Structure formats: C-alpha cells, structure tokens
Structure 1
C-alpha cells in the first residue's frame, strides 16, 4: 500500500498541523460543492447533467459533490435532471461490478427517498457488439495496443449513445466528469488544450456535438480526493470505506469513463488497473492478481484464462488466412496479416470459457451471447463450405 493511500485510511488528525490541513481540505471541498450548486442553478440553460460514474475514487467524489449540492437546493428549484450513468462492458472485473451494484443501488434509493431529480442508469454494448460475440462469434483476435477494437464497442458507443439520446431530447447535455490535472501528464495536456467557453465552466466535447464537459474536481490532487472520501460520510448513506478496501486489495486504479478515441489510451494501460477482466492489452492483470494475493483465490481461473487468451493471439494455427471480408491483408513490409480466429479456435476458446465459468461459479457469458455466437459459426462454416466447393 502506498504511503499516500495509507495516510487517508488512518484515524482523524490528532496534531495541530494535520488538523490545519484537514480544515484546508474541508474549505476547498465546500467551495467545490458551492460551485456545483451554482452551476446547477445556472438559468442560462437547463440541459441535463450526465455524470460518468465508474465507481472509482474520482467519479465517486463527483457524485458525492453533486448529491450534496442538490440537497442544498430548495425542492422547487431542483428542475435540472441529473443522470448517474455507469458502463458495464459485460466483462468487467467481478469485484468492481459488485461494488458498482451496491453503490448505484444506494444512490438510486436515497435519491428517491429524498426526492432528488437523479436517474441511475447503466449502459451495455449492443447484443452483437459484446466482447464474447465479437471474439468467439466473429473471431476477432484478442485486443492489443495496435488493435484495441474493444474500447469503442464496449465503452464509447454505449455511453455516447446515452448522451446522444439526451441531446436529442433536450438540445444539449452536460457531461460531468471526475477528470483531474493531477492524474497524469497526458491528462493535464488534454485538459489544458481544451478551454472552457468564455464566461462558463463548460468545455465543448470534441466528438459529441451538443455535449459539454463540466469538470468540478479538475484541480484536486489524488491526496485531496482520498482526504475527502475519508473525511465525509456518503450522502446517500454509509461511508466510503468499501471503496478504500477495494483499492487496498487491488492496489490499483479504475478504468476511466471513456467517451472518445482520444481518451481511449486510459483504458488498457499501466494507468488503469480496474477494468475488464479479459483485457489482453495489458501484460498482466494487476488488479485481479492483487485480489488473489489478498486471499480471493477464486479469481485465479479468470487470470489464467486471460493469460492463455493473450498467449494464443498470434498463433498462426489459430488464425484464418483471409479476413472476414474475404481478402488477404499485408503490412507495409509485405508480411501477411492473419485474419480472425478459426471456427475451431473459437470453439476451443468457448469450451475453456465455459469450463472457467463453472469453476468460478458466476456467470461470465450470457445465453443471448451464446445464441449469437452459434449463429455466426453457422454462417462462417457455410461460407467456408461454399469456398471449398468452388
């Protein structure tokens, strides 16, 4: 555990200097909540807010701040809709999705009881664009850094679709994100090159017409975030100790909310450790391995399957010569680029996945996905037979 993280799990301050820091954080946090309240009450527009909620530390602080701000607004003025939207790729880390289930349920129930205009929603990829349907059904090779087909289909399209539906209904939408300059140098560059519209706290979204970005915690440091989470009870009930435990066990950070390809490098890199348990873009799944090391040994079959899936990617015996469009592909040097996994390889992957699912004891693939996979296999085998008969 890092010294920074450990400091915020410790007991409240007991010396003058520590308490001075705590008061400073408290003042800054109240400034942020007031700023969120003022932004919510801005009468120049009434566009809905869409909070990108991953369940990690940054998006939790944002949701916490918005919830607190709404509680300070008179009921008659709570006229702007707020959507707390999480994304389920359907191959999320089981630990993270379980945490997300608990927290979003608490937010939903508290919002209903307190009569707050909050809608809790979760997006998923289209049925024909899930990880297993594309990989096992169509034979897409395991994602890597140069062919990361998963991010767009599993993350960007579902959440962007939700935002677009709000834009269509209201004319525009405000996307509230927990991005911070302190996250990384690349994040700081990305934030600094996108200036707010003059006289506002909003930045036009680079890819979604009609969407604007609001970043209420952009200037908080990681230390600040942990300090806030450790100092305040969750306004929807309980505290944030489950989140502390999640990070303590995994020693990692969440995969961020991704809304465009320019933000995609945050997914499947060293900077993101809570993500899809199937992620073959990273060398090792540090997060799940962290949970195993912390005693959750039932995750071991998942890590072993992921490692195997990564290892077979470039096995020529597992890949078709032709792409799905029926063409051969070559790189700039003239080297042949293999096509999708063969149907035989896909069957092997599915057999192994079903074995792991039984060993793990939780659902890893749905019946709807299996139906689509079998349909794609039937079509591909018929096409192969047609080619062999020519």
Structure 2
C-alpha cells in the first residue's frame, strides 16, 4: 500500500468513526428517556462501543446527561481465569471513573442462578458435557442471567435500547445474525425480548478498524487498551460475545478460537486456553487437561444412565439409542477430580452453595431410585 492509499484508508476510517459518534449522540438526544444497556463481554468490539459511549457522555454538559447507561457483563462462573479477571477489573475501572466524572453509568455483572450453574447441572443433575447438539450451557449461564437484567430494566422504564458490539464482517454467522435484526432503521426490535430495541453502532466496521482505534486511543476511563490487546495475543483468538437470544447461541463454542468458559466442550480443542499455556501460563495446563477429559467421557455409554431424568428411554426415528445423564458414579468421579484440581491449582472452582445443591440433588435422586446403600453421597460430596 503506497502513501496515497494509506491516506485514503485513514480518511475513510475517520469518516466512519465520525458517523458512529454522530449516530450515538443523535440517538442519546432523542426525546425519550429509554435507558441504554451495553452488552459488555470485555472483548474488543464491546470495549470499543463502551469507549465511544463513555467518550460521548464526557463531551456533554452535565445537564444533558439525562439518559442512564447500563454496562452489563456476564460471568458464567467457569470463565477462563484471565478473562474473568479482565472483565471484573475493567468493569471496576469504568465504574470508578464514571463516579468520579459524575456520569450516569451503572455497571453490572450478571451470573447464573446457583441451581443453574455449570457444576450443578453437570455433576448434580448429570447433564452430559455440552456439545453442538445439546448446548444446554448457553441458555442457562449466558442468555437467562443477562436477559433477566434487561427485563428488569424494561419493567422499570417501559423500554430499553440494547447496544451490541456486533459487526457484519466478523463472520458469516454474525452477518446472518445482523440480518435478522436489520430493518433498515437504526433501532430494531429484539427477537426475543419485548420492550428491547437493538442498536449496533459499529456494525459496518472491520476488524482492522477496531484494533487500530483501540491501539491509538486510550480508554476515557483511564489506563490503556494494551492489557486487552495482550489478552487476545496470548489467547490466539477472540471473546465469546454477549448473547441475549437463542438465535445467537452458535457464536459461543464455534470452531473459531474464542476465549470464554474454560470448561467448554462444544469445541473440539480449546485453542484459546492452549494459547494461554503456550504464552507462559503453564498453571492453566491442569484446567486444559480436565476439560479434555470431560469431553472424552461424554459419549462413553458405560458412564451414562439408560433413562433420562424423567424416566423415559429415548430412541430416535432411525433407531439410535440416546443415553441419559451421567451415572452417579461418574458424577462422583468428576466431583473428586474437580476437588483435586482445586488443590493442584490453588483456585476455587466451585462454591459451597453449588456443593450443597449437588448434595441435595444426589440425595433426592438416590432416594427416588432406592439406591441409598449403593453410594454414600455425603462422603463423596465432601471429597472423602
């Protein structure tokens, strides 16, 4: 690329960002008080949207900062350790700066209900490790917690505007998702959430546009984007974006290298966690090994019950037998290995509340099946 072409590209990017800033400002100044909710994954695209909105609020006099802006992240409780640390730290930085500047910004990290966590479903109920045909994790751990928060704001305000950092050029899947929301207007009705309008301010940007902006512009809440850039470089991939619709679920756990849940068995190999290990985070190797083991035992019929939790036996029209949940013995083994993993890594991977819920579910299941003498639940749960 010669100098003239580079200059033309820079002019084009400047015009693109000027248009985005103009759209944000115009929408914020509309004659209604619908709150904004930014779906924040901690990744490059949602960080860019948050950066631009924060910047816009700073440019306005206090009297014109009338519309509250909620910045909502999601922690599935099994996020990759470096990723969840980044989310928590960046949300805290944004919150502190917003308070210092007097901006109408509310930050929130949503989490799954304890009885719908990964470990309670996997170990307590025996759900097999998630795969593409049975992706039970996304709805319970990502969609429902964030949707619940959005609905609470709809109930309070009557209508909300959800700002998403999705881009048409990101992938064919994202382009199709954008198409479902695209009515030619700035705001589109959300497919699933009544009272929620979707605003995608950076939809026409390309990946290079995003990275150049983040590299050249420090976040208005302080610090720099270098930590985020390093996170991508070390993970050799990208983030699992905010998901608020089942139509968007395939973006989580695809063949692309995305960082998200360290327990994700939807992908064949966790390239992002492998990337962290190869970048010097050797302490994550046991997590990677545990995740690979979870994936390897999923289809072992000896580890699965014949009947589903409701007592049915499932056979497809083609005559294929579909086994039920993991056996209690396999769940006990998973639990014991998880406890050993905690000891090995020095990380807390499961909460006391989750352990109690698992204990309760096992006890109820054993009582229902009259197997109280075949497994001492209390000893297993305590890791004895």
Counterpart position of 1:133: 120
Aligned pair 1:259/2:247, yes or no? Answer: no
- Cα deviation, residue 16, structure 1: 7.0
- Distance in 1 between the 2:206 and 2:371 partners? 60
1-side partners of 2:157 and 2:256: how far apart?
A: 35
- 1:256 touches 1:267 (CA, 8 Å); kept in 2? yes
Once the two structures are overlaid, the 10-residue window that deviates more, 184-193 or 220-229, is 184-193
2:100 aligns with one of 101, 108, 113 = 113
Q: In the alignment, does 2:262 pair up with 1:277?
A: yes
Is 2:18 the counterpart of 1:33? Answer: no
Would you say 1:182 and 2:169 are equivalent positions? yes
Match of 1:317 in 2: 302
How many residue pairs get aligned? The number is 374
What TM-score, normalized by structure 1, do the two folds share?
0.92
1:104 and 2:80 correspond = no
* CA contact 2:236–2:257 (8 Å) conserved in 1: no
- Larger mean CA deviation between 357-366 and 51-60 belongs to 357-366
Q: CA deviation at 1:56?
A: 0.3
The residue number in structure 1 matching 2:154 is 167
Asked if the contact 1:266–1:272 (Cα under 8 Å) also holds between the matched residues in 2, the reply is no
TM alignment of 1:149-164, pairs within 5 A: 149-164=136-151
| CA RMSD between the two structures | 1.9
Output the CA distance in 2 between the equivalents of 1:272 and 1:235. 29
- Which piece of structure 1 moves more, 284-293 or 28-37? 28-37
Which residue of structure 2 lines up, in the alignment, with residue 341 of structure 1? 326
Corresponding residue for residue 226 of structure 1: 211
SS at match of 1:257: coil
Residue 47 of structure 1 contacts residue 173 of structure 1 at CA under 8 Å; is this kept in 2?
A: yes
Gap runs ≥5 in structure 2:
374-384
Q: Which residue of 2 aligns with 1:205?
A: 190
Deviation by residue 1:208-254 (Cα, 9 ceiling, x = unmatched):
11111000001000010001101101000011000110011111010
Are the counterparts in 1 of residues 366 and 372 from structure 2 also a CA contact under 8 Å? no
Q: Report the CA distance between 1:321 and its aligned residue.
A: 1.1
* CA spacing shift, 1:193–1:380, aligned 2, 3 Å: closer
- Indicate conservation of the 8 Å contact 1:155/1:258, yes or no: yes
CA drift at 1:194 = 2.7
- Rounded to whole Å, the distance in 1 between the matches of 2:243 and 2:81 is 19
Q: Which runs of 5+ in 1 are unaligned?
A: 1-13
Answer whether contact 2:173 2:251 (CA < 8 A) is retained.
no
Match of 1:145 in 2: 132
Q: Distance in 1 between matches of 2:238 and 2:323?
A: 34
Task: State the Cα distance separating 1:31 from its structure 2 match.
Answer: 2.8
1:374 pairs with 350, 355, 359, which one? 359
The answer to whether the 8 A contact 2:174-2:251 is kept is no
* Worse-matched range after superposition: 88-97 or 379-388: 379-388
String of CA shifts for 1:39-85, please: whole Å, max 9, x gaps: 11111x21111100000000000000100111111111111110000
What is the rounded CA distance, in whole Å, between the counterparts of 1:194 and 1:377 in structure 2?
Answer: 43
Q: Work out whether 1:59 is the aligned partner of 2:56.
A: no
| Runs of 4+ with deviation above 6 angstroms | none
Note the C-alpha offset of 1:142: 0.5
